[in-house]
């Protein structure tokens, strides 16, 4: 990932303003440690901190067209850039960078070129001919982006809050799938797939079509000129990413350059569920596997850095971001600059355990749509910023635009959990890769039930966080929480502790408003409570709060999946582990 900062219409002494833009851009250097660039045209400044993944030698930004009338700064990857270059036979490209097509596409197709991009991106484009500019963000919001306004009428764009929070009168999250045009004077949504309206689809489920679409999504993300690997937790999603990558690696350009054996990475506390499962998958796939261990104290010591980099006070996001933040540093130390990750599958296929309680397919589909639309505030934000904190790029094949459009066109009746038919959560995805002749994964891994990432790294992690927060937040502080924090009032000591830390780094009202409204638990369980009142007793956003579903679902799963082909001892071991975990959750 790179870091971009643009200040458009910045009035005043140009040299002083240039120095200020450079100073603010340096706050994003962790995102792009390989090179820095700044382009100034009148009162407009486009800055870039580069992480060189494609064409490291010559792809420095900002990038210009042939006559230098169009300038762009981009954070992201354009996976179809070679195809797009073929649509521009009369244009001369200065670099081999995937982002070099953008200025030329704009010359040919105007603002509509954004719809042609297949990838993850945040970009600012300046047209010097009329001093107009556009800002755009990818369909789902995989890359982070913020927009702000100065008292002098300037418009500010930054990959992270820290690039603009001291200089803008107001700032907010730039919405995914949108384009801001200075000519049009506002935002418009450029990404409008059929599923976005939440109309209920009716296309029959075809497992082979779904499988091919996901394989294509993975393979296109192997486009790289630097060492890469996969994040492997041992759960279904990351294991499928690793499996498909391992199968296709030998035929890719990257394999010829870096070797055909895939590197995989996992993080956890000693004895964590993820470490055990990931090692089994890695052995099955033959990856070069790297296990990283951390202690509860290591994680607690990193919390302030995590909140500074992730830029949120959402409890679940911080819990999950911390192990990923620690792991990313280790990965980067090995010389790896890009990893594939499994975010997005739970939202698309209803993988969270409360989807077991969905009353009908209509409710199921609408909730899945809502979850996808909120990804940029949670899992995408975590994956992007936890890795970018150390100059590591995360690519997420489940959030491929074509794959999402296909997966969300399937009649949601096929995604519904039906234990009596052997269908657990994400059954359509599991079934698509259940190949008896050429297995992608061991059967019990393919049908392993979901763990929250913050649970899977080790159950004592969350309990340790709660204990630490209780030492720093008193009962008296909690009594007055609504007066100190009237917006998003923290309801637990852990949430209060995170909020205090966040406010030290980002004290502006605009900053606290970038985190979604309501208690953090509301975002994950509001629908669950509506579907089953028993969920109202679960106050913790951890996946462990779903204990009843976890236990009953796993029992059903072990009994039903493929006529009992999952070994019974695995179900018993996991069930016992969950029961122990339940005791810890209840005690806390």
Strand order in the sheet with 186-189: 63-64, 70-78, 119-127, 132-137, 178-181, 186-189
Q: How far is CA 521 from CA 310, 323, 397, in A?
A: 18, 20, 27
Is 264 known as a binding-site position? Answer: no
**Closest Cα to residue 577, out of 426, 449, 430?**
449
Could you tell me what percentage of the chain is helix, strand and coil, using 3-state DSSP and rounding each to the nearest 5?
50, 15, 35
Q: Does the annotation flag 339 for ligand binding?
A: no
Cβ neighbours around 528 below 10 Å, total: 25
Number of Cβ within 10 Å of residue 437's Cβ equals 4
Which structure tokens are listed for 173? Answer: 């999250």
CA angle 60, 66, 69 (to 5 degrees): 90
Distance of alpha carbon 529 from alpha carbon 431, whole angstroms? 29
Q: Put the strands of the sheet holding 155-158 in their side by side order.
A: 35-41, 44-50, 3-8, 155-158, 146-149, 170-173
Q: Is 342 annotated as a binding residue?
A: yes
| Residue 98 annotated in ligand binding | yes
Max CA separation in the chain (angstroms) = 74
Whole-angstrom CA distances from 342 to 237, 242, 269, 299, 432 are 5, 9, 20, 22, 16
Is 333 annotated as contributing to ligand binding? no
Write out 408-467 in H/E/C secondary structure: CCECHHHCCCEHHHCECCCHHHHHHCCCCCCCCCCHHHHCCCCCCHHHHCCCHHHHHHHH
Active site annotation includes 2: yes
3-class DSSP assignment, residue 289: strand
The gap from C-alpha 324 to its chain's centroid, in whole angstroms, comes to 11
423: Cβ contacts below 8 Å, ≥ 6 apart: 416, 417, 560
> What is the rounded distance in angstroms from the CA atom of residue 344 to the CA atom of residue 13?
46
Strand partners, 170: 149
Contact between 59 and 66 under an 8 Å Cβ cutoff? The reply is no
Choose, from 2, 99, 173, 369, the residue flagged as catalytic: 2
Q: Catalytic residue numbers?
A: 2
Task: Give the residue ranges of the annotated binding site.
Answer: 98, 231, 267, 341-342
């Amino acid at each position: 990932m790179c870091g971009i900062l643009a200040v458009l219409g910045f009035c005043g002494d140009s040299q002083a303003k240039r120095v200020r833009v450079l100073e603010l851009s340096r706050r994003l250097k962790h995102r792009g440690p390989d090179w820095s660039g700044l382009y100034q045209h009148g009162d407009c400044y486009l800055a870039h901190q580069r992480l060189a993944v494609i064409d490291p030698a010559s792809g420095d930004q900002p990038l210009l067209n042939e006559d230098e009338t169009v300038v762009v700064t981009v954070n992201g990857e354009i996976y179809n850039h070679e195809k797009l270059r073929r649509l521009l036979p009369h244009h001369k490209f200065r670099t081999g960078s995937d982002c070099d097509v953008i200025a030329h596409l704009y010359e040919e197709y105007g603002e509509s070129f954004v719809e042609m991009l297949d990838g993850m991106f945040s970009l600012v484009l300046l047209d010097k001919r009329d001093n107009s500019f556009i800002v755009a963000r990818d369909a789902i919001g995989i890359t982070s982006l913020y927009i702000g306004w100065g008292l002098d009428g300037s418009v500010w764009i930054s990959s992270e809050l820290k690039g603009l929070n001291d200089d803008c009168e107001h700032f907010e999250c730039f919405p995914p799938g949108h384009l801001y045009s200075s000519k049009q004077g506002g935002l418009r949504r450029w990404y409008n797939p059929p599923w976005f309206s939440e109309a209920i689809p009716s296309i029959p489920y075809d497992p082979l079509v779904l499988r091919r679409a996901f394989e294509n999504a993975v393979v296109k993300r192997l486009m790289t000129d630097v060492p890469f690997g996969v994040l492997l937790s041992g759960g279904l999603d990351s294991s499928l990413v690793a499996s498909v990558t391992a199968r296709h690696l030998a035929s890719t350009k990257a394999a010829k350059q870096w070797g055909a054996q895939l590197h995989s990475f996992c993080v956890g506390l000693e004895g964590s569920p993820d470490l055990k499962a990931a090692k089994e998958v890695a052995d099955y796939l033959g990856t070069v596997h790297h296990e990283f261990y951390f202690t509860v104290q290591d994680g607690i010591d990193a919390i302030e850095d995590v909140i500074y980099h992730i830029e949120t006070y959402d409890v679940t996001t911080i819990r999950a971001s911390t192990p990923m933040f620690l792991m990313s540093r280790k990965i980067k130390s090995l010389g790896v600059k890009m990893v594939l990750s499994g975010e997005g599958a739970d939202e698309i296929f209803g993988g969270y355990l409360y989807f077991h309680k969905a009353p009908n397919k209509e409710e199921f589909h609408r909730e899945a749509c809502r979850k996808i639309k909120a990804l940029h505030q949670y899992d995408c934000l975590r994956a992007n910023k936890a890795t970018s904190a150390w100059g590591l790029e995360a690519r997420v094949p489940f959030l491929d635009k074509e794959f999402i459009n296909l997966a969300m066109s399937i009649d949601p009746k096929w995604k519904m959990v039906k234990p009596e038919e052997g269908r657990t959560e994400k059954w359509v995805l599991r079934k698509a890769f259940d190949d008896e002749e050429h297995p992608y994964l061991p059967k019990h891994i393919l049908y392993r039930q979901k763990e929250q990432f913050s649970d899977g790294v080790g159950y004592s992690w969350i309990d340790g966080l709660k204990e630490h927060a209780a030492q720093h937040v008193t009962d008296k502080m909690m009594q007055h929480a609504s007066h100190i924090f009237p917006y998003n009032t923290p309801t637990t000591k852990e949430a209060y502790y995170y909020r205090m830390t966040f406010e030290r780094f980002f004290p502006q009202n605009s900053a606290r408003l970038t985190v979604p409204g309501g208690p953090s638990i509301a975002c994950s369980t509001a629908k669950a409570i509506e579907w089953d009142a028993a969920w109202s007793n679960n106050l913790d956003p951890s996946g462990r709060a779903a204990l009843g579903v976890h236990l009953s679902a796993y029992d059903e799963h072990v009994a039903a999946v493929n006529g009992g082909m999952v070994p019974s001892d695995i179900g018993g071991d996991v069930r016992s582990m969950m029961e122990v975990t339940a005791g810890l959750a209840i005690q806390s």
